[in-house]
């Protein structure tokens, strides 16, 4: 797979994780307002944000490697 396609796939995965984290955080907030247990839902949102950060960091690290190879 070429590098630009890998970057696009990682960016897509990162954005899906970020949007999913926002959605689960809002759902957890609604559960909290209703008086239900919400800690596990917010933990899922945190894990999704961490996954998004990992994917986005891999994009940044890959660009530096490509530039180093050209020089």
Q: Over the stretch 25-56, which tens digit does the pLDDT of each residue have?
A: 999 999 999 988 888 999 999 999 999 999 99
Backbone phi and psi for residue 38, each to the nearest 5 degrees, phi listed first: -130, -5
HSE toward the beta carbon, residue 39, CA cutoff 13 A: 0
Residue 63: its pLDDT value, please? 54
Q: Which two tokens stand for residue 68?
A: 């180093």
Residue 66: its pLDDT value, please? 56
Using DSSP's 3-state secondary structure scheme, residue 37 falls into: coil
Residue 2: its pLDDT value, please? 83
Q: Would you say the C-alpha torsion 40, 43, 49, 53 has a positive or negative sign?
A: negative
Residue 36: its pLDDT value, please? 86
Residue 69: its pLDDT value, please? 61
DSSP state of 35: T
Q: Is the pLDDT of residue 64 over 60?
A: no
Residue 71: its pLDDT value, please? 57
């Amino acid at each position: 797979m070429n590098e630009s396609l890998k970057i696009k796939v990682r960016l897509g995965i990162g954005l899906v994780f970020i949007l999913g984290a926002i959605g689960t955080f809002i759902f957890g907030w609604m559960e909290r307002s209703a008086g239900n247990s919400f800690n596990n839902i917010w933990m899922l949102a945190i894990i999704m944000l961490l996954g998004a950060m990992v994917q986005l960091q891999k994009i940044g690290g890959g660009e530096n490697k490509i530039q180093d190879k050209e020089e």
